[in-house]
Every structure is written in C-alpha cells, then in structure tokens.
Structure 1
Amino acid sequence: MSLEVGIIGGAGYTAGELIRLLLNHPETNINFVYSTSNAGNKLYKVHQDLIGSTEISFTQDINSNVDVLFLCLGHGNSTAFLKENNFSKATKIIDLSNDFRLLANKNLDGKDFVYGLPELDKEIIKTANYIANPGCFATALQLAILPLAANGLLKDDIHINAVTGATGAGTSLSKTTHFTWRDNNFSHYKAFNHQHLGEINQTIQQLQSSCKSEVFFMPNRGNFSRGIFATVYTTFNGTLEEGIQLYKNYYKNAKFTFVSDEAVHMKQVVNTNKCIIGVEKHGNKLLITSTIDNLLKGASGQAIQNMNLMYGFEETLGLNLKANYF
C-alpha cells in the first residue's frame, strides 16, 4: 500500500520539485497539497512543468492522518504551523525549513527532530519520526568537509567560496532576483555570516569536538537558475593520494555522493540528487570542490532520500535522475 503524503506550502520551488518526485515515486500517493494562496487551482497552473502529469488541485483542507507530511514553508513558519495544527502520532514529518536544524531548536512539543544528512547520520535517520532537512549550501559544504572532520584532520581554518543559482532565493521577487539584475551579473551576499554556518559548525563539532578552526564562508549569487558549486580549502599534511583515498573511503557506501578522479563541474549534477566531490592538493592545502543541485540534493531530493530511509525503502527509490548535461 502506498504512503499517503501531504505537502504544506505547495507553491514554491522546493514544493514543485517535491511534487514532481512524489508523482513518480512507486511507494507514494499525494493526498493533499496545502496552499492558502492557490486553493482550488490545479497544481500545473503554478508548477507548469506538471501539465499532463496530474489533475490534483491545491487545497486548504488538511488530512491529519497522512503517513508523511512535508513542510515546505518559509523559515520560521514551520514552528508556527505545527503549534496550530495537530497530526497523528503515526505521521512522520520532514521539515525543509531551518526551524529545527540546530540542537537548541530541535524539540517542539515532544517532537524530537533529527538532522537529516544521510552521509552523516543514516542509521539515526532510519529510526526517526521527525526530520530537519539540511539547507542547500549546508549540504554541499558539509559533504566537502565530513571526511576531514570524521578523521580529526581539521587543524586549520576552513575557507569556502560557493555560488548558487537564482532558485536559491525562492519564488518571491526582490531586487536581486529580477532577470535584468541577475542576468550577466555576479555578486556576493551575507559574507561570513550565512545562516547555514550554524549547521556546518554543529556537524564539525559532532565529528571533531576538539576542532577550534573557524569556517570562513563567502556565498555568491550566480546568473543561472539552479545548482551550487563550492570550493573549500584547508591545511592538509598528507599527500594528494592520501586525501583522495580518505574521501573515497568515507563515501564508499554513499548512494548519492561520489568522488571524481577528474575536475568536477555543475552540469554533472543539475536535476539529480547527486553530490560530486573533487580533491586536489596545492602546496600544504587540500582543495575540495563540491557541487549539487540546490533544489534536489539541497532540498526536495534529500527529503525523499530521508523518507526512503525512514520507511526502509531502497535509498535511491524514485531518485534515479539524469543530469541536464546538454
């Protein structure tokens, strides 16, 4: 019997990708997609790529007995929604906002949220009822750092430069999301104080509690629609071969994270749930490149991956997607 699934906040980019994935997942049935602004409209009126795929309409009715609930709300709104709405104790909840990612905020009225980065805590995710899905930048950057932290090798500061596509800003228009501003343009924002640093530092401390290194993160806006490409470097005293082997050993059982023997680029991952890692050595610095699709491995794809783990499905179920390489 298929899982009955509900989605709260159905009009955004992450919800659109989530709906697309769930419609093609062999073990799920979309029970409802909740949206106050689009109630009564067909899903494909907002998510126009879904025309011909579904006749489901947005609704303001909520089924509190669904098996899985995905929260695709703006940051800060998931907490308020769960305080105002009750669901069955059997309902598993996967939140795609940042409300429950940090340890200080992971518990709400007895609901204990587990941080949902499978490459970090797969076994814990399998037994969880509530998941805090990681942020997009946080996913790409942690996957670049995990093998070093897990082996106690973060001995110096970590320097990161990363760029994300326009979909990372969401569907709401602002000065920096208009085509005329974004096209043929490039800029940085939230220098050294991006909100995902909290998740990254939390994970580093989980794996290497003795680490005193600081993470210097420079996020950038790119003039493309989707994807994240990050370069990360820190001091590493081993050889290049040792560095590559370190990463390949850590990710040897990972279903979606792969270490490439060649330089990586973003087109390898757009429209997939993959993260591809490249490792280089320059002097005493190890350079790690990490690239993901911000809407899939950075959001909705990872949410499905977590759902698969929670229900004992094959981890890759519904996520065998081909990159938009051409």
Structure 2
Amino acid sequence: MAASIKAGVIGAAGYAGGELLRLLLQHPQAELAFAQSGSQAGKPLASVHTDLLGETELAFVADSNDEVDVLFLCAGHGKAAEYLKNNSIPAATSIIDLSQDFRWNGAKTGTIVSAGGREFVYGLPELQREVIQNASNIANPGCFATAIQLALLPLAQQHLLPVAVHVSGITGSTGAGQGLSPTSHFSWRTENVSTYKVMEHQHLREVGKTLQQLQPETQPDIHFIPYRGPFARGIFITAYLETDLTLEQAQDIYRQYYSSHPFVVMSAQTPDLKQVVNTSKCVLHLQKHGQQLVITSIIDNLLKGAAGQAVQNMNLLFGFDETAGLKLKAGGF
C-alpha cells in the first residue's frame, strides 16, 4: 500500500473539478500537486471555488509537467480523449476520467476500452471492486447511471430482472455542468420542472452494458424518463418492475449484495434527498405494491455520481481504505 500519493486535476474550475479539489485537499493520503484550468490559469483556487479560502494557497495552472501518481480528467465529454491524444502522460501515472469518453465500446461486456495504449476499467466499485483494484486507469461512471445501476445490480446478479424496467429520475442543476444554457439559468430553473432526453439518455448505454454483463440471457429494456429539478445538487430515481419476489425476499437480496459495500445504505423508511447531499452515500429503499417492486435510489450527483466515486476508485487503485477522505456529513436542514 502506498503511504501517500500525488494527484493532479485537469479541468479543475468546473463543478466536478471543484469537488475533487475539496476532497483531495482533505484526503489523509493524497497531496494535490496541481489544478489545471485554461480559463482560470494564474488565479488562486479560492477565487473560483470560494469555499477553499484558507484551505490552500495553490493557483490554477494552464498546463503542468509535474509527474503525479494519479491524474483526474474533468475536461468534459470528448475533451478527455483529445487531452490524452495531445499530451504525453507517463505510463506509471494512473488516469481517472470523469467524462463518458472511455465508458463503453463494442465489446460484449463493455467493461474495458482502450485509448492511446491505455486500458480503462469501468469504475463502479459495487459492480467490480476487485477488477478496479488491479487496474491502472478508470472510466468513472455517469451520475444517473450510478443511481440506476445501484438500484438494479442485486436483481441482475440473481438473473431476476424482467424484460422491462421503468425508471424516472430527477437531477439538480449542477448535473448540467457550469456552462450557461437556457435551462440552467436561475430564473428558468427555479420553481420549474421539465423532462429531457426522454428514453434516450446517454447514460443508458453504460447501464445496458452492465446489465448485459450480469444477466446476459435477458437484456431488459430500461424505459427512463429524466427530469430537471429546481435544486442545485442530488439525484432521486424511482425504478419499478414486475416480480414474484416478496418484499422480504427482495430486501434480503439487496442486503446481502451490499453487505460489504460501505457507501450503499438500505433505508426502512422512504428517503429524502437531503440524506445524501454532500455525501458519497447511495440510499436505497424498497416497496412492494402488488406484483410491482418499487426501488428508490438517491445520490449526490457531484459526489457518488462524480468526484466522490472518482476518489473511491483512487482509494481502491492505491490500496487505501475505500472510505478514506469520503466520510462526509449530510445537512439535515
């Protein structure tokens, strides 16, 4: 196990990049070596991420040749692959990419893709922790994909998913990134709800690959309706499917599957989003109504859905305690 490591962040001025900076600065076994941002180069980190005032004297850099043990790519979809193509990264440096660039390919399992001579392992610890521990480069899962997969993994492992699963989910405005768009302005978003990418959200591709890996004989159709919510952060999804399982049988399957996974928590009561915001937890709740099993899955889109999961993967890569630097506090009110 490494005693300590050096970490760098590419694209550190955005929402996910900022969350990574906060986590790495507090991590007991990681040192933040640099934070890159083309648009903010030369400015103190705290001038952009104002909550870091008094936490660090580091400034953003336009580029860095500093050798690090792990490099986080928060460069956005399409730009991560471009960055690796245009920059020489030492082979000994592990890469954890938060974009969708390396999450899938044409392989049947969809767990590994390659780019520039590097192999990327799909980084959902609750799916393949041991594979991640023996990897070098990680494709961090998407936020909606994480919430949906954690809702369905135990049933898929038991080959109990039916041919159709219905999912609705609502996400906060930070899920759209820091760039302005008509649907991310406060005056539009507040006191407002809308659907988007109905039945064709890009995260369904990685969900499908995972379910195909666990339950190859029956590939369920995921009928997904995503919503934009009038709040900043968090994802709340509800999935329902037909099953002969009793509620008690389903709960036993879920408890057994997640018994060794520290960030997935079963709730006997209906959960609410504040229980997970600012944490790396996923809270699951099961209900049974007739033949329908209803599964609620809630996460913070910037933590368990992005930066927190990236640090969880870093911990696994370097042999640290899986929860190191991630024992975070939710806000009850």
2:70 is aligned with 1:88? no
Alignment correspondent of 2:267: 260
What is the aligned-residue identity percentage? Answer: 53
Please, what is the CA RMSD of the aligned residues? Answer: 0.9
- Of 99, 102, 105 in structure 1, the residue corresponding to residue 104 of structure 2 is 102
Q: CA deviation at 1:106?
A: 1.5
Alignment correspondent of 2:44: 42
The one-letter code sitting in structure 2 at the alignment partner of 1:10 is A
Tell me the secondary structure at the aligned position of residue 163 of structure 1. Answer: strand
Tell me the secondary structure at the aligned position of residue 55 of structure 1. Answer: coil
1:265 and 1:244 map into 2 onto residues whose CA distance is 19
| 8 Å CA contact retained: 1:161, 1:230 | yes
Alignment correspondent of 2:321: 314
Q: CA deviation at 1:64?
A: 5.1
1:103 and 1:113 map into 2 onto residues whose CA distance is 11
Alignment correspondent of 1:70: 72
The one-letter code sitting in structure 1 at the alignment partner of 2:84 is L
Q: CA deviation at 1:282?
A: 0.7
The one-letter code sitting in structure 2 at the alignment partner of 1:86 is S
Alignment correspondent of 1:7: 9
Per-residue CA deviation, residues 271-295 of structure 1 (Å, 9 max, x unaligned), is: 0000000001011011000000000
| 8 Å CA contact retained: 1:6, 1:69 | yes
The one-letter code sitting in structure 2 at the alignment partner of 1:95 is D
Q: How does 1:160-179 map to 2 (within 5 A)?
A: 160-179=167-186
| 8 Å CA contact retained: 2:234, 2:273 | yes
Q: CA deviation at 1:258?
A: 1.1
Q: CA deviation at 1:96?
A: 0.2
Alignment correspondent of 1:57: 59
Alignment correspondent of 2:121: 114
Alignment correspondent of 2:217: 210
Alignment correspondent of 2:142: 135
2:62 and 2:172 map into 1 onto residues whose CA distance is 31
- Of 305, 308, 325 in structure 2, the residue corresponding to residue 298 of structure 1 is 305
Q: CA deviation at 1:103?
A: 3.0
| 8 Å CA contact retained: 1:156, 1:234 | no
2:247 and 2:262 map into 1 onto residues whose CA distance is 24
2:116 and 2:18 map into 1 onto residues whose CA distance is 29
Tell me the secondary structure at the aligned position of residue 265 of structure 2. Answer: strand
Q: CA deviation at 1:257?
A: 0.5
Deviates more, 1:262-271 or 1:100-109: 100-109
TM-score, scaled relative to structure 2? 0.96
TM-score, scaled relative to structure 1? 0.98
2:105 and 2:128 map into 1 onto residues whose CA distance is 14
Per-residue CA deviation, residues 78-101 of structure 1 (Å, 9 max, x unaligned), is: 000000001111100000000000
The one-letter code sitting in structure 2 at the alignment partner of 1:140 is A
Q: CA deviation at 1:56?
A: 0.4
Alignment correspondent of 2:228: 221
| 8 Å CA contact retained: 2:165, 2:220 | yes
| 8 Å CA contact retained: 2:154, 2:254 | yes
| 8 Å CA contact retained: 2:84, 2:116 | no
| Runs of at least 4 residues off by over 3 Å | none
Q: CA deviation at 1:10?
A: 1.0
Alignment correspondent of 1:16: 18
Q: CA deviation at 1:213?
A: 2.0
Tell me the secondary structure at the aligned position of residue 113 of structure 1. Answer: strand
Runs of 5+ consecutive residues of structure 2 not aligned to the other structure: 107-111
2:15 and 2:117 map into 1 onto residues whose CA distance is 30
2:156 is aligned with 1:154? no
The one-letter code sitting in structure 2 at the alignment partner of 1:93 is I
Equivalenced residue count is 326
Runs of 5+ consecutive residues of structure 1 not aligned to the other structure: none
1:41 and 1:72 map into 2 onto residues whose CA distance is 18
Q: CA deviation at 1:212?
A: 3.2
